[in-house]
Structure 1
């Protein structure tokens, strides 16, 4: 088999073409948002919201409403419940997050298990990348485009909020509103990503790209370029690997992202573990006795 045939063979199938489009869109949108999540320190919040949208998606399916509506409503509900538990009891924020998101996630599982359906709703949990319909593709395109556009247009405000909420307030911005806006976008992005990898693995796509880019550069502008570039490349490589290894597509995409993070973690020119160890040893050897 030639290299040309190797590259083109998977995309002789329509389902692989749809999978490629959806995976790349989800990877890019998640990666851009992940830059702010990593900087603000919202990794655990990303985990909570991405899991908490499950009952919203299930209810939206039952009522015949768009998935995005249920996801956003339950995303904000999760944040409100976390804040209420944290502020009205002795329970700390990390424990409140764990309580709320696991309870809502369990509610979603129950709703899916008791919902009569001609389709298998477990694809919401584990992803169904190779079984996407034309309507799924359209939904991902629309939600992905809207989310990406808002992130790009509001990037300066979000960045200022991430670095210095006090200064953002001083120049007339509303930090609470910006935080709520980001959480709403997080819920929308979760809907985009769950089409590709399912609710269980959404948090990986929301955190790994930003963390990887964070180890490669100290400039946020470069992070916003590196994160989606790396994430999209991993999506393509993971999709190829899943086709030729006959493995789960969503799992391979996330596994590829994890492998990319490991490479950067060890070999990043600025912050790589092995590179820094080598520089330290060399510095000691060159130091005068």
Structure 2
């Protein structure tokens, strides 16, 4: 029985899956807290889908895929901000138009490539096929992103809650805004090998949403989000071995189940507190 439970740890591809899960869990969980507080859930979805044309163009031109993904993500984020600030259209509408247009462009380019190399892993992830280069990329991006978020979490928290107060306090609001967009694009690049572009938004939103329901302070919210995301990713990778399923969708399903449980728990607590009054 013990040998059967430890079987996944005996394979190199599973060891790499566990490693990249642990590496990616921290930056995505930390970032998700700020995205949830700032109401940028759709922004995370927009950027994660909109990097596809950058990836395909980088492949066609022979550039590193991560450079194309980062460039497309930044173009999407900056274009969304510019259009929202210089038009009467609301920001969520602008994001929907920009990201759907970019994703459509990416699909057209993606289907027009005449090559034996398939880019399906960019869309859906390939956690069981990650190599040393993928692990290094995730670590080189994830570690600095996590460090910046931890060092500047108070400034970013104030900017997320009240940008006007942050500006009045002398904080560089513009730098914080575009810095967070840059971090968002970098984090999506780091998650490409693990979950792909389509499911990356799950890691960017669910941990923060779960922690928001469970924690009463922002510092604890960060800790809860990291713990939940780490547990879900490791459990999803482990369970996928025995379920013969893809790890990334399994991770997202686990996060969804945890969110539903947290929501039910929070609703029950509120009803109990109301009844006590």
TM tier, smaller: over 0.9
- The aligned counterpart of 1:136 is 134
> Is 1:276–2:270 an aligned residue pair?
yes
**1:178-193 equivalences in 2 (<5 Å):** 178-193=176-191
Listed as ranges, the gaps of 5+ residues in structure 2 are: none
Query: What TM-score, normalized to structure 2?
Result: 0.93
- Aligned residue pairs: how many? 277
- The aligned counterpart of 2:18 is 20
Cα separation, 2, equivalents of 1:223 and 1:163: 14
> Is 1:221–2:215 an aligned residue pair?
no
Cα separation, 1, equivalents of 2:60 and 2:149: 30
Listed as ranges, the gaps of 5+ residues in structure 1 are: 285-289
> What's the RMSD between the two structures over aligned residues?
1.7
Cα separation, 2, equivalents of 1:117 and 1:155: 44
After TM superposition, the structure 1 stretch with the greater mean CA deviation from structure 2, 36-45 or 76-85, is 76-85
How far did residue 89 of structure 1 move? Answer: 4.2
After TM superposition, the structure 1 stretch with the greater mean CA deviation from structure 2, 171-180 or 247-256, is 171-180
> Is 1:246–2:244 an aligned residue pair?
yes
How far did residue 47 of structure 1 move? Answer: 0.8
1:215 alignment partner, SS class: helix
1:107-140 deviations in Å (ceiling 9; x for gaps): 1122222234443201101111111122112111
How far did residue 58 of structure 1 move? Answer: 2.0
- The aligned counterpart of 2:70 is 72
- The aligned counterpart of 2:192 is 194
Cα separation, 2, equivalents of 1:117 and 1:253: 31
Quick check: 1:144–1:189 contact (8 Å CA) kept in 2? yes
